[in-house]
A = this chain, B = another copy of it.
């Protein structure tokens, strides 16, 4: 039997005999509220193809289940009976995002409304998988206690791992995560944490974070570049993550041949270069916080990676034609801007008209996008 996180959802969250948490119309409504928190009930009809009566009923049922909360009406909203405002009720459920990177495991606790309830990280050092998971469990319990959470509201876990998909819930991760590689993570983790676990690639959960909290609120088609120790990314098409035929869509590093691969924009190379030049940069997160474009070697490195970078940008544009390309992962905003300034689109106009080009946007997600995205995955899969 194929592992399925959906089948493990606790019964008190489930609505119908088919095991669904919400119906399609309910999902559409919850999505709308996600994108417009505090929208009034009466405004819903204008955005969704449902009558006022149906909206009333669905809202009524979702309120009764504690999934959405009614708020005071907006004042001064014209005449007529005032309509209550709607929000997702964070108290109904919370989820945990776990992001396994080469150096660190990030943890993000989030409620149904998208509020971050707590964050933590565990340095991997030489920890075995079992030891690391034990530490995650302890950290999770601490976060839960500090936030005063009721365990019954613990909906599930989103697990992100650096590396490519091999099949099922098996991934092939870089060396420090050797022990985490090529095994069925879904059954293992859901057994260990006693909750359904959704497993994804780390760059893809970063992409999901961007789609739920960042530019995805306004843009339906975009590519997300995840600059980390390595370099990957993800694609959002029509608001949904594109997984591809083998679950590895957005692994942009595959564009480069062996030679060019050394000049790809992975932050490991920049850190090496900086350390060679006498700039003490102990970690990627340190670099992100303290980045200075005048550090010796920065401009040089950027110039070196620019050809490979531009090839990648043009490949993404040609293949999937996104409306935007988002610079994310752990890239310092200033470094992203340097790349954007050097972007060249290979395009010749016809009749003076260019092919529409993507906008280049620097992600505004400050925390661990990968863990944050992992935390929404359970909700996105079941609620909205």
Cα distance, A351 to B175, chains bound together (Å)? 9
Q: How far is the CA of A251 from the CA of B314 in the complex (A)?
A: 11
CB-defined interface of A251-267 with B at 8 Å, one 1/0 digit per residue? Answer: 11111111001000000
A173–chain B nearest beta-carbon distance, Å: 8
B182→A319 contact, CB < 8 A? no
How far is A222 from B246 in the complex, measured between Cα atoms in Å?
A: 11
**Which A residues from 220 to 263 make CB contacts under 8 A with B?**
220-222, 235, 237, 242-258, 261
Q: Are A318 and B356 in contact (CB under 8 A)?
A: no
Give Cα A355–Cα B322 distance, bound, in whole angstroms.
25
Among candidates B182, B255, B353, residue contacting A351 with C-beta atoms closer than 8 Å: B182
CB distance from A14 to the nearest CB of B (A): 17
- Assuming the contacts A261-B346, A323-B246, asked whether A317 and B351 have C-beta atoms less than 8 A apart, the reply is no
Contact of B248 with A321 in the complex, beta carbons under 8 Å: yes
Chain copies in complex: 2
Min C-beta distance of A17 to chain B, whole Å: 13
Smallest beta-carbon distance A202→chain B, Å: 15
Contacts of A164 in B (CB 8 A): 355
- Our pick among B237, B245, B347 for the contact of A244 (Cβ within 8 Å) is B237
A50 proximal to B (CB < 8 A): no
Closest to A221 in B: B245
B351 touches A249 (CB 8 A): no
Tell me if A32 is interfacial: C-beta within 8 Å of chain B.
no
In the bound assembly, the distance between CA atoms of A167 and B355 in angstroms comes to 10
Please state if A319 and B321 are interface contacts (CB–CB under 8 Å).
no
A77–B283 Cα distance when bound, in Å, is: 67
Given the interface pairs A261-B346, A314-B255, A346-B257, the reply to whether A353 lies near B182 with Cβ below 8 Å is: yes
The interface size of chain A toward B, counting residues with CB under 8 Å, comes to 54
Chain B residues within 8 Å of A363, by CB: none
Q: Is A166's CB within 8 Å of the partner chain B?
A: yes
Cβ of A344 to closest chain B Cβ, rounded Å: 8
Contact A245 B220 (CB under 8 A): yes
In the bound complex, do residue B318 and residue A253 qualify as a contact, i.e. CB atoms below 8 Å apart? yes
How far does the alpha carbon of A257 sit from the alpha carbon of B306 in the complex, in Å?
14
Q: Are B251 and A351 in contact (CB under 8 A)?
A: no
Docked complex Cα distance between A132 and B351 (Å): 22
CB under 8 Å from chain B, chain A span 321-348: 321-324, 346-348
A315/B255 in contact, CB under 8 A: yes
A258 to chain B, nearest CB (A): 7
Rounded to whole Å, the gap between the CB of A175 and the closest CB of chain B is 8
What are 24 sample pairs from A and B whose C-beta atoms fall under 8 A apart? A163-B350, A164-B355, A166-B356, A172-B353, A182-B353, A221-B245, A235-B320, A244-B322, A245-B323, A246-B323, A246-B355, A248-B321, A249-B321, A251-B355, A254-B314, A255-B311, A255-B315, A255-B346, A257-B311, A258-B346, A258-B348, A315-B318, A319-B320, A320-B320
Q: Which 6 A-B residue pairings sit nearest by Cβ, starting from the closest?
A: A254-B318, A244-B321, A245-B323, A221-B245, A315-B315, A246-B356
